[in-house]
Amino acid sequence: MERLVVIGGDAAGGATAAQARRRRGADDLEIVVVERGPYTSYSACGVPYWVGGLVAGPDALIARSPEEHRRRGLDVRLDTEAEGIDLDKREVEVRDTATGAAHRIGFDHLVLATGATPVRPPIPGIDAPGVYGVQTLDDGRALIDGFAPARTRAVVIGGGYIGIEMAEAMKQRGLAVTVLDRGAQPMSTLDPDMGVLVHTQMEALGIDVVTGADIQGIETAPDGRVRAVVTSDAEYPADVVVLGTGVRPATELARAAGLPLGDSGGIRTDLRMRVWGDDARHAGVWAAGDCVEVLNLVSGRFQHIPLGTHANKQGRVAGMNIGGDYATFPGVVGTAVSKVCDLEIGRTGLREKDAEAAGFAYETAVIESTGRAGYYPGADTMTVKMIAERVSGRLLGVQIVGRDGAAKRIDTAAVALTARMTAEDVTALDLGYAPPFSPVWDPILVAARKVAGKVAGPAL
């Protein structure tokens, strides 16, 4: 009987194992999932809502428990760290993190689903008590346990979507919150002219936002616990510090085994999620989730985009292929949505700086419209920015900041990008219209009209 070993029991690993099992029974394929932590298949994306008290964690955040996986015929081994991959002998070396005991597991198929590791900038004091990551359920638990009545001031380092979600969560907990971001505006996945809308809203919520922050260190009190975050300009008192400084692909095992990494740092795979390369030892070696790089279908570049939805799709594709089906993961267009209180943010495709880096000449248009007919109650303003290639008019990217119904409108643009539509194509799209849901011209169409008018002008 063949054996599939999956390293990592979160979204990508769990999806791979489940899909392989659906296609190959327990009498045909043994499936071993080794997971370094105590949980499987949990939603890291849900941690801010747990911290904010909106969701009762951590159980609610576990999509599938180890017991559920086991009932589906998976041999799930928790607290088990993979320490090495021997491609010649086709074995993985694992160690029980409690006992320290090590042994080897042979494989016919191997899936690397090792995820991502929080970036911990080399700031003095970053390891002090009171400084928290937000990547795992244990991180969430530690942060919640760290709240105490006397701890009233929080500083978030990094104003990306996780930093902003954490800032809101701690505001909801009653803390005074300051976000320190090194960029010109928070939410650098948007162009600065859209990021400023997020900035304004955060300030309106009572969250202090410091841009251009050059962090020098984290100061500690005599008891060793965090006391303040120091930038080159000022000192920000802090009882709690949260790191929203992003993640990088966890590829130590892959690197040590000589598996190929892309420029983005993620593991390179083919369309079926098999690890890239014509080395015969790569046969049966797959990778999926936050540890791989993905093709951006707009720029044609590979990127590292850690996101649960990609991890699930890639895991499904890997598992279908291991199970004998044919499936591919063609790539992404860079869609992301997030929420700051009632502000909704969506983005897809390229920002201006991405378009420039890829070599596109482009036009931009920014419009304001409403998510409902103007006369319908609750018609709030939303701002849409659209970027299109000059001459061809090809859609390159869209960003939306607004309220009710703003964020998921980005999906329309994501599909249009996937289909390589032009802005003029977008103006003709048959989008749903009714007064409670859209003006007669959906904001996406209004933006497309405006940018289509610009690209129709004289060529470069």
Closest separation in Å from C-beta 390 to a second copy: 18
Amino acid at 412: T
Does position 421 interact with a second copy (CB under 8 A)? The reply is yes
Contact 69, 9 (CB under 8 A): yes
| 307 contacts a second copy (rule: CB under 8 A) | yes
Interface pattern 354-373 for a second copy (x via CB under 8 A): -------------------x
Give the whole-angstrom CA distance, residue 96 versus residue 102.
6
Residue 61 is a binding residue for a second copy (CB under 8 A): yes
Q: Which of 267, 160, 272, 270 is nearest to 211 (CA)?
A: 160
Q: Smallest distance, Å, CB 129 to a second copy?
A: 29
Residue 381 makes contact with a second copy by CB under 8 A: no
Tell me the one-letter amino acid at 104. Answer: R
Q: What angle, 0 to 180 degrees and rounded to 10, lies between the N-to-C axes of helices 308-322 and 11-23?
A: 30
Q: Is 408 one of the binding residues for a second copy (CB under 8 A)? A: yes
Question: With respect to a second copy, which residue has the nearer C-beta, 45 or 126?
Answer: 45
127 binds a second copy (CB under 8 A): no
Judged by CB under 8 A, does residue 436 bind a second copy? yes
Which tokens sit at 163? Answer: 């930093």
Stretch that binds a second copy, among 54-62, 132-140, 178-186, 226-234 (CB under 8 A): 54-62
How many other C-beta atoms lie within 10 A of the C-beta of residue 150?
A: 5
User: Is 43 a binder of a second copy (CB under 8 A)?
Assistant: yes
Question: Which tokens belong to 68?
Answer: 């559920």
Does residue 352 belong to the site contacting a second copy (CB under 8 A)? no
341 assigned to active site: no
Q: What DSSP line would sit under 108-157, residue for residue?
A: SEEEE---EEE-----TTTTSTTEE--SSHHHHHHHHHH--TT--EEEEE
Give the nearest distance from C-beta 309 to a second copy in angstroms: 4
Query: Does position 136 bind a second copy by CB under 8 A?
Result: no
Closest distance of CB 14 from a second copy, Å = 11
Give the number of other Cβ atoms within 10 Å of residue 223's Cβ.
8
CB 451 within 8 Å of CB 388: yes
Nearer to a second copy, 18 or 238 (CB): 18
Is 313 one of the binding residues for a second copy (CB under 8 A)?
yes
Our finding on whether 5 is near a second copy (CB under 8 A) is: no
**Binding status of residue 295 toward a second copy by CB under 8 A:** no
Q: How far apart are CA 372 and CA 27, in angstroms?
A: 56
Tokens of 182: 């090194």
Report CA torsion sign: 425, 429, 435, 437.
negative
Upper half-sphere CA count for residue 218 (Cβ side, 13 Å): 28
DSSP for residue 174: T
Q: Which is nearer to a second copy, 110 or 170 (CB)?
A: 170
Residue 198, token pair as written in the block: 């997020």
* SS3 of residue 93 by DSSP: strand
416 binds a second copy (CB under 8 A): yes
Nearest residue to 441 (alpha-carbon basis) of 451, 454, 428, 453: 428
What are residue 450's phi and psi, to 5 degrees? Answer: -70, -45
Choose the catalytic residue: 3, 45, 219, 431: 45
Nearer to a second copy, 178 or 312 (CB): 312
x-marked contacts with a second copy along 438-457 as a string, rule CB under 8 A: x-xxx------x--------
Site size toward a second copy, by CB under 8 A: 68
Q: Which of residues 91-110 bind a second copy (CB under 8 A)?
A: none
The yes or no reply on residue 39 touching a second copy (CB under 8 A) is no
Residue with tokens 């319908």: 376
Q: Give contact residues for a second copy (rule: CB under 8 A).
A: 11, 43, 45-46, 49, 54-55, 60-61, 63, 161, 307-310, 312-313, 316, 327-330, 332-339, 344, 346, 348, 373, 375-377, 405, 407-412, 414-416, 418-419, 421, 424-425, 427-438, 440-442, 449
Catalytic residues: 45
